[in-house]
């Protein structure tokens, strides 16, 4: 098992380092929009976290600290929250930050279908109580609310800019964050500059004033070799998502430092579609699980740089059930035995059949080969072939169509989220794919539904943990999913870059960064 | 330029002659080498099991990223598969993609071009405008659209790659048909009273084929390259036995740590395309009417 | 001559419109629901999907959509991206310069390298130089662009540090992608120039020039080369299509801005307005290049001045 | 004797071709004196061009080399001269003009630029001086509007103009020797006469020597002081022109002279022919290279090459000169009998010449074709498919062809002869007018019937190399019409093909060979076999012998005449060699710019031409007899564009007798004799 907390960067604070300079940071993909209400991508979050501040801040231990909100209270029924807002905060466009701004942001969120909207859950309304007081009303209790509000997806936008730019706001983001948006040339770079007036930094930061960096430039470099190459050649100072094979070599490079943060949410997991015969059969799924040697997969592909996952939650998240670790193990003999018992017998080509039907497993994965997920598919295919299961791989850009039509037996997915409530989206019966949910498993179990509801409504953290533990155990026991790995977000940067930190979700924090001259 | 050498013309010419003699053998050596490469790769495509030392599917976690050596001639990849065996087995799909897309795209384009050129008139005007329109859409984008639409499978890749080359073949075929259809022997056949169809099939088509054939030979190589481009853009076929382009595009991330993974499939592609080009050049030379007997 | 150019322009316009139509039809026929792809399975009710569809006009029959698209196109309205609501025209205009400069640089590389090697190889026909030149030429077309690109990058950027590995600002960022793409075109041009040069060297007028006592240098460079350039020019016109194809890959490898990349993304996400817009511009580039080639023909080849500017393929 | 300007001694040239060494020119020795015009004659492949290129060492650029021998210009050895010195000599002291003026200019530079380039290469002149000189030169060679021409590109000038410009370029630096390699072969007779006139003038004016290469003995007779006859890479005879024509000392020269059709040849007798065809450079015979075709050949000829010997400047390379002289001195009107059979294979045609005469159809006057107001226009279209201009290829032509006759068609290039022929045999549809074939109008006919009749009309083509499909065996080629029209069994077809091959004088066993194994003459026989396979009544022979060597032309003409009498064929015979047309035709039509300007029986036309154009054409023909050397009365100018023909009489722009009437009104074709009609306001 691993420590459940994101590992902060090796160096301490950069008080001794000089300030100024420009940090160029190579991203692997491009944000689609810098409107936090609109975009759901992690990469967008990495960029606009620097532009927007949130009402609250979630610490690595899962506790919440004030940020733009100085304090807050929750109503007894858990259905409304009242936030007292900080004074003297200004948006980059000069608009003052106040309750109206918060309301404008939350209302804006509701007009969209982004990640932000799910984070805010059963949102009903936002009421401006006074200039510095806002009340958020919910239709039902929603425990993950603060966690959601701490994310940059619910960062507060300038109401003036929202109105001014309308549909095009995503290209002209205005927040209160430590960096101001300067320019975005698509597929090339996003430039941010220091917000000199900033002095309302989050509690996890050491810095209390304006950022040390004058400029923060995100370069969009999808090609791995190019991205790593540009750090090595010094064209950029830092680059994200270093592939495992490069991690090993860069470790020996004296000019390059590597920082790693464990991301949180759900690990990369293969989900069975239980609505399709014959995979509705637990025993069959169990056979497959026994045949898949996850340890070998993770070791082979990630060369020891990634952790194996055991549950459908990542270890760093509230409610993670550590007891599931080592609960399953690869056992080809057991797999064969189970399959034999079920009456699937090997044919001439080594593939098992029953009643004239071959045992095939339709494995859906999206392309391109992000985090070597396509390679996982290749190995799984090989391993299952050993026990006589024919894996039909569909690796495509357009996973939407087969997912909507249910034409898959196994599909891979991972999610980034700070709260275990993420499981609701994955397992509650109404969270069907295409209707806002990711219930790939097509689970329809009232007991689980109840536990999931309990999970977000319950205010007692211990009870929440218990509910989620039960759910996790249920998933593993019923072999609904095969957790594979927990993604470590790895950044390679020049050794002159200091003070890079990561938040609970593994997102980089540039506020404290300094560049040694 | 040739001042100095021309001082003693006779001797100089002799020297030239002997050089060109040497050249003849050098170029045939080249041609033979190219033929050997093509034959070997075809053999790989047909019976890889006789050539490859390992199964390309065996993933040995204990033999990850081994450099080329005695056990694994060309090293192993990140799955622990034997790279040499991968290259040998990969020949099948690679050549298949190359040959099939030339057959499909070239066949279609050839027929369209030949008919349009021969029929002429409005048909030709319209077909040529269409072809010009197709040419103005970059080929790989057509391929991309098709590959994205129909999803990755070997057949679809062939389809996608073929679509992009149709206008090229049509153009070449058409211009050749235009030349040939005005040859006196075509007029002669018409003056005899042969039907247009038989003139087309018996005189025009056979005599128009050579530039088309040259293009087709070379096209096998370019199709493989195009399909590897699709692979690069994430639209390749993921199969248990990947074709060269797929290995190359998937292994490219390992170039700095294990150069052998994609260098050898890359070399296989380059070598094959090169050989096919050398042969194509020779085919052109032999088919060139100015150089052959008539 | 101006009349000929006008007719040529007119037929070019037809080609551009034609390709826009064709692409519209292709994109329309492609399977996959753009709205679903757009939503990426995100929270939506069937009603939401339906309203989005009608908002985008996707519930209309084909001919209505086609007609609308066309009318808008004629008005210069390229619409908005279905993926993120960006205005298509500014988006393309933002990326176009990078692609244009890259294309320009690679065409220049192709021409310079191709003609140089082609001429050398024709002059030293069947000699060692000929062999080397042809081999280099072939090499350009024998390797996938991304592979050549990464190799160049490893060598010139990481090992030697001469040129940046990526980006779209400054001439230095153009060097490696320009080479990568240019080498492909060069391969074709080497063959072309060599063949036509050899053909030209067999023409009777070369004999005249020699009989006049001209030096070999002026025979080769003053006359033969100029005559050989004409087919090479056509080649450029035709390879522009290939080059634009090549930009998709090259722009990705070198993390450059460009319409190749947005097109690839747009096709994959079935973002029809963007695809349409980009195709409109690539067709434009193609057609314009060929127009320029045709016109420059007449500067190099007087035979064409009167007769061939008629257009057609 | 003073030192000659140019002297070659034992010159042999060698080429390397795919590893083998060829020697297209062997042991050539001759000289050219100052101010002398020497003609090098010989058939295709005899090495004329190579000899001239060897003199200038231009073969260095074609992978050739001088194997042995010497070339001396004014005593200076050229074979060992360094390249740079050689270059300063080329174009300065020796210059050259070539056969195809259009191809001899670099198409991408203006005429002026190319002239100036030459001038400045050799003479230190400023650009301005050079331009002035160039204009002067163009004026000298008779190019109208020389200033304008300076800035024109080669494609904007006609062939005749270009040849003048080429001559100007050759004269640029005042050469001592001008080598002209078939300078008029590509041109019309009218233009040819103009160019030959010009050369003659220049020679006397500038006092230079000329080496004129030609295969046309007529031209040689017109302007040569001395003649050199080459055969298969060797000189077989050289002599002053008059003496060579009077008394050839080599059987080849003798044969050549006799096989020329003259304007007073006996039209009833077959043409004299030299058996066989000139050998290819890869298979030169041993000994005397002419021996396989020589009627006098003996064993000695086969083994030993005869030296070039002779007295008082008349040399010949033959072991049997004496016998030849003896035989020639006999007054022999029957000398055609020397080799009466045109066949090279020795296979006898089924009918003898006498029988053939008898087979001529009785109804000589029966009409086969009746053509009324025939018009063929070609639209020239622009990119959008709109008609830009109309080419008046054939305009309002009315005439008739009798069954069994040969109707000759003559006229300058572009006058519409081929178009008329193609429309006649329905390869193209007329734009206007009517064609009656055997009394039926072709245009209104049902397609099935027309297809039936199409069998009756066949065609022989000009290009013997292009008119047979290179991928088919000649048997298949000949069988093609049978295949299309008759359902024959394979065996029947085979025997038919063999029969046809026999008729045209080819070995029936060759049916399975491919065209590239045959010479030009043999291929033409294949084309003829194909044309007669269906027993047509009409054959269109469009320049059917123009591409052939002189000695082979006669063979084909004889074969065609023989087949005509045996099969009762009717011919339309198109050719630019007027003599041949006169020889084979019963009646001749003269075309000018799409119009038929005169029709008359062959003798009548040549003796009493009524149209000024006809007269000019006839007077342009070089006369192969040096003793009758005459001043060409060539017509001026060139044929105008058919897209924009002159108003009135189309010939008025070039006609010496043109009046205002001619400019206004087009004359109609009207009868001036029993069978003679002409379209002229002022017939001769
Ligand atoms: N560069 C060359 N290489 C090899 N063989 C050549 C070359 N040039 C000419 N020959 C051969 O040499 C022979 C003589 O050629 P040449 O051109 O001198 O003939 P010619 O008498 O000028 O005939 P023509 O009347 O056809 O011009 C021909 O058989 C020709 O094929
Ligand atoms: N298919 C065609 N399309 C357009 N113009 C044509 C076509 N065929 C012939 N012409 C034009 O018609 C005119 C007459 O051509 P035609 O070939 O009949 O002349 P000709 O007397 O046979 O000349 P030549 O002696 O050169 O063979 C020429 O100006 C030619 O360019
Ligand atoms: Mg010649
Ligand atoms: Mg003609």
B interface residues, D as partner, C-beta within 8 Å: 2-3, 6-10, 13-14, 16-17, 20-21, 24, 125, 183-185, 187-195, 198, 202-203, 206-207, 289, 292-294
Looking at residue D394, its pLDDT comes to 93
pLDDT tens digits along B228-247: 888 888 777 777 788 888 88
ipTM of the modeled complex: 0.80
pTM: 0.81
Spatial distance between the Cα atoms of D436 and B140, rounded to a whole number of angstroms: 59
Torsion angles phi and psi, residue D239, rounded to 5:
-170, 160
Chain D partners within 8 Å of B20 (Cβ): 16, 63
* pLDDT for D106 beyond 80: yes
Q: What is d(CA D524, CA D522) in angstroms, rounded to the nearest whole number?
A: 5
| Interchain CB contact of A243 with C (< 8 Å) | no
Query: What is the pLDDT at residue C2?
Result: 61
Lowest mean pLDDT among A270-279, B217-226, D216-225: B217-226
**pLDDT score, position A12:** 40
Domains parsed from chain D with CATH numbers: 94-174 (no CATH), 248-343 (no CATH), 365-449+574-684 (3.40.50.300)
pLDDT at D374: 94
- The confidence band for D362, taking pLDDT boundaries of 50, 70 and 90, is very low
Residue nearest to atom 8 of ligand 2 (CA): D419
For residue C164, give how far its alpha carbon lies from the nearest alpha carbon of chain A (Å): 7
Cα of D22 from ligand 1 centre, angstroms: 10
Q: What's the CATH number where B251 sits? A: 1.10.3720.10
Ligand 1 close to Cβ of residue D274 (< 6 A): no
CATH number at residue C178: 1.10.3720.10
- The model's confidence at residue A359, banded by pLDDT at 50, 70 and 90, is very high
Check residue C295 and give its pLDDT.
78
Percent of the residues in chain D that have a pLDDT greater than 90, as a whole number = 29
User: Which of B57, B238, B253 has the CB atom closest to A374's CB atom?
Assistant: B238
pLDDT at D586: 92
Task: Please check whether residue D620 touches C, CB under 8 A.
Answer: no
Which chain D residues touch C10 with a CB distance below 8 Å? 384
pLDDT of residue D634: 65
Least confident of B151-160, C115-124, D655-664: B151-160
Q: Residue A311: which of A325, A290, A294, A292 has the closest Cα?
A: A325
Chain B residues within an 8 Å CB radius of C12: none
* Rounded Cα distance, D140 and D183, in Å: 18
Residue of D11, D21, D23, D49 with the most ligand 1 atoms within 8 Å of its CB, for mutation: D49
Contacts of B184 in chain D (CB under 8 A): 461-463, 466-467
* Interface test with chain B among D57, D466, D482, D517, by most B beta carbons within 10 Å: D466
Q: What is the dihedral of CA B23, B26, B32, B35, to 10 degrees?
A: -80
Q: Is the pLDDT of residue D372 over 70?
A: yes
A235 interface with C at CB cutoff 8 Å? yes
Total domain count for chain C?
1
The domain total for chain B is 1
* pLDDT band at residue A190 under the 50/70/90 scheme: very high
DSSP 8-state secondary structure symbol assigned to residue C222: I
CB pairs under 8 A between B and D: 97
Query: pLDDT tens, A202-240?
Result: 888 888 888 999 999 999 988 888 898 889 888 899 999
CB atoms B190 and D427 under 8 Å: yes
The CA distance from A389 to A463, in Å, is 41
- Per residue in A324-339, pLDDT (tens digit) is 999 988 999 999 999 9
By residue range, what is the domain housing residue C191? 88-310
What average pLDDT is seen over chain A? Answer: 88
Q: Which position has the higher pLDDT, B278 or C1?
A: B278
Q: Tokens representing C301?
A: 């080849």
Interface of A with C in 427-466 (CB under 8 A): 433-438
Q: Looking at the domain assignment, is residue B152 inside a domain?
A: yes
Could you tell me the strand order of the sheet in which D234-240 lies?
D94-97, D177-181, D209-214, D37-41, D226-231, D234-240, D314-316, D309-311
Distance from CA of A335 to the nearest CA of C (A): 34
By CA distance, what is C263's nearest residue in B?
B141
Q: Do chains B and C touch (3 or more CB pairs under 8 A)?
A: yes
Q: What was the pLDDT predicted at A402?
A: 85
Report the residue of C241, C258, C261, C262 to disrupt the B interface, i.e. the one with the largest count of B CBs within 10 Å.
C241
CB of A234 within 8 Å of a chain C CB? The answer is yes
List the residue whose alpha carbon is closest to atom 14 of ligand 2.
D416
What's the mean pLDDT in D283-293?
A: 89
| Ligand 1 centre distance from Cα of residue D24 (Å) | 7
pLDDT (average), residues A64-87? 92
User: Could you give the angle at which helices C272-300 and C225-253 cross, rounded to 10 degrees?
Assistant: 160
Q: Do C30 and B149 touch (CB under 8 A)?
A: yes
Q: For chains A and B, what is the number of CB pairs under 8 angstroms?
A: 67
The pLDDT value recorded for residue A11 is 38
Q: What is the CA radius of gyration of chain B?
A: 24
- The pLDDT value given to residue A284: 92
pLDDT at residue D628, as a whole number = 67
In tens, the pLDDT along D401-459 reads 999 899 999 998 889 999 999 999 888 889 999 999 988 888 878 888 887 888 888 88
pLDDT at D37: 92
Which one of A174-183, B72-81, D212-221 scores highest in mean pLDDT? A174-183
Residue D129 contacts by C-beta under 8 Å, 6 or more apart in sequence?
A: none
Report CA(D596)–ligand 4 centroid distance (Å).
15
Does residue D382 have a pLDDT over 70?
no
Q: Do C204 and D107 touch (CB under 8 A)?
A: no
Atom of ligand 1 nearest to the CA of D213: 22
- Is there a contact between D510 and D522 (Cβ–Cβ < 8 Å)? no
Q: What is the pLDDT of residue D384?
A: 57
Q: For the segment A305-315, what is each residue's pLDDT rounded down to a tens digit?
A: 999 999 999 99
Q: What is the mean pLDDT of residues A381-397?
A: 89
Asked whether residue B6 is assigned to any structural domain, the reply reads no
Closest residue CA from atom 10 of ligand 1: D24
- CB–CB of A245 and B253 under 8 A? yes
pLDDT at D30: 92
Residue D215 in contact with ligand 1 by CB distance below 6 A: yes
CB C131 within 8 A of CB C117: no
Question: Which of B1, B2, B144, B145 to mutate against chain C (most C CBs within 10 Å)?
Answer: B145
Angle, helices B139-150/C272-300, rounded to nearest 10 degrees: 160
Looking at the domain assignment, is residue B185 inside a domain? yes
CA dist D210 and D176 (Å) reads: 8
Kind and range of the H or E element at A299?
helix A294-302
Rounded CA separation D155/A363 (Å): 68
Q: What is the number of the ligand 1 atom nearest to the C-alpha of D282? A: 29
D106·C205 Cβ contact <8 A: yes
Q: Report pLDDT for C308.
A: 41
pLDDT (0 to 100) of residue A286: 93
Would the CB of D281 count as within 6 Å of ligand 1? yes
With cut-offs at 50, 70 and 90, classify the pLDDT of residue B195. confident
Segment A374-382 shows an average pLDDT of 90
Spatial distance between the Cα atoms of B243 and B90, rounded to a whole number of angstroms: 4
For chain B, give the mean pLDDT.
80
Best residue for ligand 1 mutational test, from D281, D282, D516 (most atoms within 8 Å of Cβ): D281
* Residue B120 C-alpha, separation from nearest chain D C-alpha, in angstroms: 13
Residue B11 located in a structural domain: no
Higher pLDDT, A69 or C264: A69
Output the pLDDT for position A7.
38
Residue-wise pLDDT for A14-52, tens only, equals 444 467 889 999 998 888 889 998 888 888 999 999 999
Query: pLDDT-derived band of residue D518, with 50, 70 and 90 as boundaries?
Result: confident
Quick: pLDDT tens for B248-273. 888 888 888 888 888 888 888 888 88
Residue with tokens 């590597």: A258
Cβ count near A111 (within 10 Å): 10
* Sheet of D538-542, strand order: D457-460, D538-542, D570-574, D406-410, D587-592, D595-601, D677-678, D670-671
Distance, CA of D608 to CA of D659 (rounded, Å): 22
Q: Counting Cβ atoms within 10 Å, is residue D125 exposed (0-12), middle (13-18) or buried (19+)?
A: middle
Residue B233 lies in a domain: yes
Q: Is D47 in the pocket of ligand 1 (CB under 6 A)?
A: yes
Using an 8 Å CB-CB cutoff, list chain A residues near C45: 435-436
Chain A and chain D touch, per 3+ beta carbon pairs within 8 A:
no
pLDDT in the model for residue D236 = 93
**Planar angle of CA B122, B125, B131, nearest 5 degrees:** 140
List, for chain C, all residue ranges whose pLDDT scores fall below the cut of 70.
1-4, 31-48, 303-313
Distance from CA of C50 to the nearest CA of B (A): 22
pLDDT value at residue A176: 93
Q: Which domain holds residue B181?
A: 24-291
Cβ D45 under 6 angstroms from ligand 1:
yes
């Amino acid at each position: 098992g691993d420590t459940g907390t994101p590992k902060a960067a090796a160096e301490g604070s950069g008080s001794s380092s000089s300030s100024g300079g420009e940090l160029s940071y190579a991203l692997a993909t491009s944000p689609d929009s810098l409107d936090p209400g609109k975009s759901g991508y992690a990469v967008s979050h990495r960029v606009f976290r620097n532009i927007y501040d949130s009402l609250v801040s979630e610490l690595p231990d899962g506790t919440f600290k004030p940020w733009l909100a100085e304090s807050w209270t929750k109503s007894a029924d858990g259905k409304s929250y009242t936030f007292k807002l900080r004074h003297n905060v200004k948006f980059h466009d000069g608009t003052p930050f106040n309750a109206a701004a918060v309301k404008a942001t939350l209302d804006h969120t509701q007009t969209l279908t982004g990640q932000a909207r799910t984070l805010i859950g059963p949102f009903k309304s936002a009421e401006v109580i006074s200039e510095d007081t806002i009340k958020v009303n919910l239709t039902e209790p929603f425990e993950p609310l603060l966690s959601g509000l701490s994310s940059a997806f619910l960062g507060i936008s300038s109401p003036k800019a929202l109105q001014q730019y309308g549909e095009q706001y995503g290209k002209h983001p205005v927040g209160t964050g430590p960096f101001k948006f300067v320019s975005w040339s698509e597929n090339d770079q996003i430039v941010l500059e220091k917000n000199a007036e900033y002095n309302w930094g989050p509690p996890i930061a050491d810095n209390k004033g304006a950022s040390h960096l004058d400029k923060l430039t995100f370069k969009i470099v999808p090609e791995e070799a190019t991205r790593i190459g540009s750090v090595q050649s010094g064209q950029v100072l830092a680059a994200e998502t270093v592939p495992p094979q490069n991690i090993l070599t860069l470790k020996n490079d004296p000019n390059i430092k590597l920082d790693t943060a464990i991301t949180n949410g759900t690990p990369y997991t293969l989900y069975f579609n239980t609505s399709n015969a014959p995979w509705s059969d637990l025993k069959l799924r169990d056979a497959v699980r026994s045949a898949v040697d996850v340890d070998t997969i993770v070791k082979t592909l990630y060369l020891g740089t990634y952790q194996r996952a055991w549950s459908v939650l990542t270890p760093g998240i509230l409610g993670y059930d550590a007891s599931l670790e080592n609960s399953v193990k690869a056992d080809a003999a057991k797999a064969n035995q189970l399959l034999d018992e079920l009456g699937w017998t090997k044919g001439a080509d080594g593939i098992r059949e029953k009643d004239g039907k071959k045992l095939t497993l339709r494995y859906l994965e999206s392309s391109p080969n992000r985090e070597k997920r396509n390679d996982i598919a290749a190995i799984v295919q090989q391993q299952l072939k050993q026990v006589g299961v024919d894996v039909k791989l569909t690796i495509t850009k357009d996973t939407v169509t087969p997912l909507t039509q249910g034409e898959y037996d196994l599909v891979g997915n991972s999610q980034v989220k700070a709260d275990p409530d993420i499981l609701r989206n994955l397992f509650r019966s109404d969270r069907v794919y295409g209707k806002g949910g990711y219930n790939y498993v097509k689970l329809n179990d009232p007991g689980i539904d109840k536990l999931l509801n309990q999970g977000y409504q319950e205010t007692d953290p211990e009870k929440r943990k218990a509910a989620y533990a039960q759910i996790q155990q249920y998933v593993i026991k019923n072999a609904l999913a095969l957790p594979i790995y927990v993604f470590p977000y790895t950044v390679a940067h020049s050794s002159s870059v200091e003070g890079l930190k990561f938040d609970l979700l593994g997102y980089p924090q540039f506020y404290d960064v300094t560049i040694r001259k | 330029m040739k001042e100095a050498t021309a001082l003693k013309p006779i001797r100089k010419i002799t020297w030239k002659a002997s050089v060109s003699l040497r050249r003849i053998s050098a170029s045939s050596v080249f041609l033979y080498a190219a033929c050997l490469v093509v034959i070997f790769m075809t053999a790989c495509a047909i019976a890889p099991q006789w050539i490859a030392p390992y199964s390309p599917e065996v993933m040995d976690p204990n033999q990850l990223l081994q450099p080329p050596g005695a056990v694994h001639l060309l090293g192993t990849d990140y799955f622990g598969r034997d790279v040499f065996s991968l290259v040998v087995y990969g020949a099948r799909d690679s050549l298949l993609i190359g040959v099939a897309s030339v057959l499909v795209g070239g066949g279609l384009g050839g027929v369209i071009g030949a008919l349009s050129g021969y029929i002429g008139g409005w048909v030709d005007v319209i077909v040529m405008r269409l072809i010009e329109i197709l040419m103005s859409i970059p080929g790989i984008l057509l391929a991309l659209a098709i590959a994205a639409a129909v999803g990755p499978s070997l057949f679809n890749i062939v389809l996608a790659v073929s679509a992009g080359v149709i206008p090229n073949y049509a153009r070449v075929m058409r211009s050749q048909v235009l030349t040939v259809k005005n040859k006196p022997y075509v007029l002669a056949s018409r003056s005899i009273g042969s039907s247009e169809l038989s003139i087309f099939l018996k005189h025009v088509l056979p005599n128009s084929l050579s530039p088309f054939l040259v293009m087709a030979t070379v096209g096998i190589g370019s199709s493989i390259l195009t399909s590897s481009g699709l692979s690069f853009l994430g639209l390749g076929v993921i199969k248990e036995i990947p074709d060269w382009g797929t290995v190359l595009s998937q292994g490219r991330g390992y170039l700095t740590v294990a150069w052998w993974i994609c260098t050898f499939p890359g070399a296989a592609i380059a070598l094959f395309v090169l050989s096919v080009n050398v042969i194509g050049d020779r085919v052109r030379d032999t088919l060139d009417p100015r150089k052959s007997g008539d | 001559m101006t009349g000929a150019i006008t007719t040529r322009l007119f037929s070019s316009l037809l080609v551009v419109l034609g390709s826009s139509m064709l692409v519209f039809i292709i994109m329309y026929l492609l399977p996959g629901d753009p709205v679903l792809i757009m939503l990426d399975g995100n929270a939506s009710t069937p009603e939401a999907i339906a309203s989005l569809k009608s908002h985008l006009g996707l519930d209309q029959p084909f001919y209505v959509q086609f007609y609308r698209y066309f009318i808008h196109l004629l008005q210069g309205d390229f619409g908005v991206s279905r993926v993120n609501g960006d205005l298509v025209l500014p988006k393309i205009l933002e990326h176009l310069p990078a692609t244009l400069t890259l294309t320009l640089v690679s065409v220049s590389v192709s021409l310079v390298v191709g003609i140089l090697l082609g001429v050398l190889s024709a002059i030293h026909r069947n000699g060692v130089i000929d062999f080397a030149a042809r081999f280099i030429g072939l090499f350009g077309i024998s390797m996938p662009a991304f592979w050549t690109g990464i190799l160049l990058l490893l060598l010139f950027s990481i090992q030697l540090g001469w040129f940046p590995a990526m980006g779209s600002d400054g001439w230095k960022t153009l060097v490696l992608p320009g080479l990568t793409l240019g080498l492909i075109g060069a391969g074709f041009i080497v063959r072309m120039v060599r063949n036509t040069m050899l053909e030209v060297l067999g023409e009777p007028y070369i004999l005249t020039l020699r009989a006049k006592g001209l030096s070999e240098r002026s025979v080769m460079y003053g006359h033969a080369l100029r005559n050989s350039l004409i087919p090479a020019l056509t080649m450029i016109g035709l390879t522009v299509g290939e080059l634009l194809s090549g930009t998709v890959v090259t722009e990705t490898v070198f993390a450059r801005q460009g319409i190749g990349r947005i097109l690839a993304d747009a096709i994959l996400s079935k973002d029809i307005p963007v695809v349409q817009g980009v195709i409109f511009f690539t067709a434009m580039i193609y057609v314009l290049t060929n127009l320029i080639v045709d016109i420059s023909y007449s500067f190099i080849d007087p035979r064409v001045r009167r007769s061939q500017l008629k257009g057609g393929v | 004797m003073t030192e000659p300007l140019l002297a070659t001694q034992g010159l042999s040239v060698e080429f390397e071709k795919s590893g083998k060494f060829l020697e297209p020119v062997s042991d050539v020795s001759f000289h050219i004196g100052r101010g002398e015009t020497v003609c090098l004659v010989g058939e295709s492949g005899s090495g004329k061009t190579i000899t001239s290129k060897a003199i200038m060492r231009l073969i260095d650029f074609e992978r050739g080399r001088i194997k042995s021998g010497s070339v001396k210009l004014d005593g200076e050895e050229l074979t060992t001269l360094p390249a740079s010195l050689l270059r300063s000599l080329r174009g300065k002291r020796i210059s050259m003009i070539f056969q195809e003026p259009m191809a001899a200019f670099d198409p991408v530079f203006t005429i002026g630029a190319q002239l100036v380039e030459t001038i400045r290469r050799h003479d230190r002149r400023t650009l301005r001086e050079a331009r002035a000189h160039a204009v002067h030169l163009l004026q000298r060679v008779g190019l109208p509007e020389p200033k304008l021409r300076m800035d024109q590109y080669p494609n904007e000038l006609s062939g005749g103009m270009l040849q003048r410009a080429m001559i100007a370029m050759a004269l640029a630096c005042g050469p001592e020797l001008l080598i002209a390699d078939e300078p008029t072969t590509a041109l019309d007779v009218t233009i040819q006469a103009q160019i030959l006139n010009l050369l003659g003038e220049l020679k006397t004016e500038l006092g230079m020597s000329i080496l004129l290469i030609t295969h046309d003995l007529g031209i040689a007779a017109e302007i040569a002081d001395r003649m050199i006859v080459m055969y298969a890479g060797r000189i077989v005879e050289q002599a002053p022109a008059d003496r060579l024509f009077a008394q050839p000392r080599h059987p080849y020269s003798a044969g050549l002279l006799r096989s020329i059709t003259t304007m007073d040849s006996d039209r009833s007798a077959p043409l004299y022919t030299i058996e066989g065809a000139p050998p290819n450079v890869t298979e030169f015979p041993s000994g005397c290279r002419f021996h396989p075709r020589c009627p006098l050949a003996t064993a000695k000829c086969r083994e030993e090459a005869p030296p070039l010997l002779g007295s008082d400047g008349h040399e010949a390379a033959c072991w049997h000169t004496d016998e030849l002289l003896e035989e020639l001195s006999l007054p022999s009107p029957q000398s055609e009998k020397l080799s009466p059979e045109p066949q090279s294979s020795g296979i006898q045609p089924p009918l003898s010449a006498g029988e053939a005469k008898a087979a001529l159809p009785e109804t000589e006057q029966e009409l086969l074709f009746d053509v009324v107001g025939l018009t063929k226009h070609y639209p020239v279209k622009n990119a959008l498919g709109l008609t830009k201009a109309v080419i008046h290829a054939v305009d309002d032509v009315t005439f008739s062809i009798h069954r069994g006759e040969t109707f000759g068609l003559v006229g300058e290039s572009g006058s519409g002869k081929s178009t008329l022929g193609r429309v006649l045999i329905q390869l193209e549809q007329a734009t206007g007018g009517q064609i009656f074939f055997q009394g039926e109008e072709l245009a209104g006919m049902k397609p099935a019937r027309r297809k039936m009749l199409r069998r009756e009309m066949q065609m022989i083509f000009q290009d013997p190399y292009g008119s047979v499909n290179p991928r088919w065996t000649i048997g298949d080629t000949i069988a093609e019409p049978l295949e299309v029209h008759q359902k024959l069994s394979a065996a029947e077809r085979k025997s038919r093909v063999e029969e046809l091959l026999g008729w045209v004088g080819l070995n029936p066993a060759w049916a399975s060979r491919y065209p590239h194994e045959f010479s030009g003459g043999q291929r033409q026989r294949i084309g003829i076999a194909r044309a007669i396979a269906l027993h047509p009544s009409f054959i269109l022979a469009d320049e059917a012998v123009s591409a052939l060597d002189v000695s082979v032309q006669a063979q084909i003409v004889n074969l065609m005449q023989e087949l005509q009498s045996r099969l009762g064929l009717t011919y339309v015979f198109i050719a630019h060699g007027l003599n041949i047309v006169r020889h084979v035709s019963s009646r001749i039509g003269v075309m000018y710019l799409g119009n038929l300007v005169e029709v008359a029986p062959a003798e009548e036309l040549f003796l009493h031409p009524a149209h000024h154009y006809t007269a000019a054409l006839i007077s342009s023909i070089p006369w192969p007899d040096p003793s009758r050397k005459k001043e060409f009365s060539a017509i001026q100018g060139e044929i105008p564009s058919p897209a924009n023909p002159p108003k009135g009489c189309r010939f008025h722009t070039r006609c010496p007798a043109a009046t205002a009437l001619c400019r206004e009104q087009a004359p109609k074709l009207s009868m001036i004799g029993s069978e003679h009609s002409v379209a002229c306001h002022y017939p001769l």
